[in-house]
Homo-oligomer: A and B are copies of this chain.
Amino acid sequence: MTERCDALLPRREMRMSASNHAALAGFLKRLLMRSHLSADEQDAVLSLKSQAFQVAARRDLVFPGQTVEYSCLVGDGLVGRFDQMRDGRRQITAFHIAGDMCDLHSVVAPTTGWGITALSTCLVYHVAHDDLRRAATSHPNLAMAFWRDTTVDASILAKWVANVGRKDAQSRIAHLMCEMGVRMERAGLASHVSYPLPVNQEQIGDAMGLTSVHVNRTLQSLKRSGAVSFQKHHVEIHDWDELVSIADFVPTFMLFDERRKNDAA
């Protein structure tokens, strides 16, 4: 397994010597959810070089507009993608859990339009674009898998636009709880009805286009309804069907269940 240093460094990341099979295995697992990869292609993923960093909560990993030459693989914790307004207010546009390569996009667009921030204490790995590009070029099917992975991301993003644009606070937050539950379970990290979500109410607000005050009241009402409770960074879903109904949650957008008949021949 991967060595790791649990010391939390407040304002700087710490470089670590890395034999991080576990993290890359998580990433491979994620790819395999939707893409069929040969043993050779899987090896190419597992043998990617990477560098581990222990990151404190609230530390920004990538700034909006920055040009990077690596992608960030989440090994542990919760990472957020965000956009920032002129006045400094932020909108979180995506949550990334362990196994997610949270800015795989930057391989083809190294000057990012968004920023990346650690929402909780995180273990993050940098994987060089050069290596990812080499892997993709020499394994066309792997390139497809990478592309597919970022497409899933885009599909979730589109759903967020719809949620923020057309749903009320209850439904938005319920939807987030459903989405993260399914993702956590699929990633093998927890049950879909009981999982850690290391964010505070302010951050939920930043993601759903609400203020922390309103998130608070909405969480209270969701709890009263008996559908879900969120306490101490942990989501407990008491009535999944009810929550799905409140959220109007239709998981198609996560693009699971592909029969994978469409890989490169």
Contacts and interface: CB of A to CB of B under 8 A. Distances in A.
Interface in A4-45: 34
A113 B150 contact: no
A94 interface: yes
A234 interface: no
A107 B146 CA distance: 13
Contacts of A90: 166
Given A136-B144, A143-B140, A208 B108 contact: no
Q: Looking at chain A, what size class is its interface with the partner chain? A: 35 or more
A189 interface: no
A85 interface: yes
B157 A154 contact: yes
A147 interface: yes
A253 interface: yes
Interface in A111-159: 111-114, 129, 133-134, 136-137, 140-141, 143-144, 146-148, 150-155, 157-159
Given A108-B144, A166-B91, A83 B159 contact: yes
Contacts of A134: 265
B155 A255 contact: no
A154 B150 contact: yes
Given A129-B262, A161-B91, A209-B165, A109 B151 contact: yes
A160 interface: yes
Given A93-B158, A144-B108, A154-B105, A136 B264 contact: yes
Top 7 A-B pairs, shortest CB-CB distance: A165-B209, A113-B253, A83-B162, A91-B162, A154-B154, A108-B148, A113-B155
